[in-house]
A = this chain, B = another copy of it.
């Protein structure tokens, strides 16, 4: 039986790493005599989960010393009105980063709206130009925040993936595919062998069992079983799922895509949910915004 403290040492603490990233940016910003970096967050409709995410992002901006624009449109906003607003943000020399909180209401074409954001302000990294730069390993682009957060969390823990087998569970445009591209890159700490598995995959447990790194990003509560984890593997859980829990105050609790207790027994390093990848995602959003700010030739 592993002791409590050994277990504790296994935790990849995303909150701590994210705090360190943000406090380092904050320190740099405090010494600025010019305008502060500015992130504009656009929310359409009143989805409660989206509202929470937007609030967290805005809060992180303010705490880090960024300017923040928060714009809320009703769910019925027309494509024209939203477009016009986004173009005005593109044109503003005081705005460094723009993000449209997803998902959008059904009448709006998510791909079209996302592509309106100028690539050099697309701090979410969802514009085709930025995703393409991830393929060509052009570091001038913006990498989507969750994959970038996973990378920085691994780096902060001195995990070197060179030649190791990374299994990414999920093939979304937001996490699975860009993370696959990132871990494949010819960069220090990366150079992983990458397998991307998903709902069609045959023998998924067999593949996960071979992984030196497992990243779970499918949005299915505790889908990855502890016994699938290879002894000593690193486990990153991107999932955030509500499960009913009568014993909890709110009637539910938040769990990841990995069965945590089981995986903890076998992993060498593992993230918790919450407190793992979530805070890293927000820190990377600010890091990308700060990168955009600096790229404008503002000397810091």
Contact = CB atoms under 8 A, between A and B. Distances in A.
A111 B138 CA distance: 8
A196 interface: yes
Interface of A: prevailing SS: mixed
A198 interface: yes
Nearest to A161: B200
A191 B200 CA distance: 7
Interface stretch (A3-11, A34-42, A66-74, A178-186): A178-186
A200 B202 CA distance: 26
A164 B202 contact: yes
A171 interface: yes
A130 B133 CA distance: 10
A146 to B, nearest CB: 14
B165 A135 contact: no
Contact of A178 (B135, B138, B171): B135
Contact of A181 (B133, B177, B191, B198): B177
Interface in A146-175: 162-165, 171, 173
Chain A interface size, under 10 / 10 to 19 / 20 to 34 / 35 or more: 35 or more
Contacts of A180: 180, 196
B184 A177 contact: yes
A9 B198 CA distance: 33
A170 to B, nearest CB: 11
Nearest to A162: B200
Given A193-B195, A197-B193, A200-B191, A133 B128 contact: yes
A103 to B, nearest CB: 15
A136 interface: yes
Contact of A201 (B135, B163, B178): B163
Interface string A12-47: 000000000000000000000000000000000000
B184 A193 contact: no
9 contacts: A128-B129, A128-B133, A134-B135, A135-B177, A177-B181, A193-B198, A193-B201, A193-B207, A195-B196
Interface of A: 111, 126-138, 141, 162-165, 171, 173, 177-178, 180-181, 184, 191-198, 200-202, 207
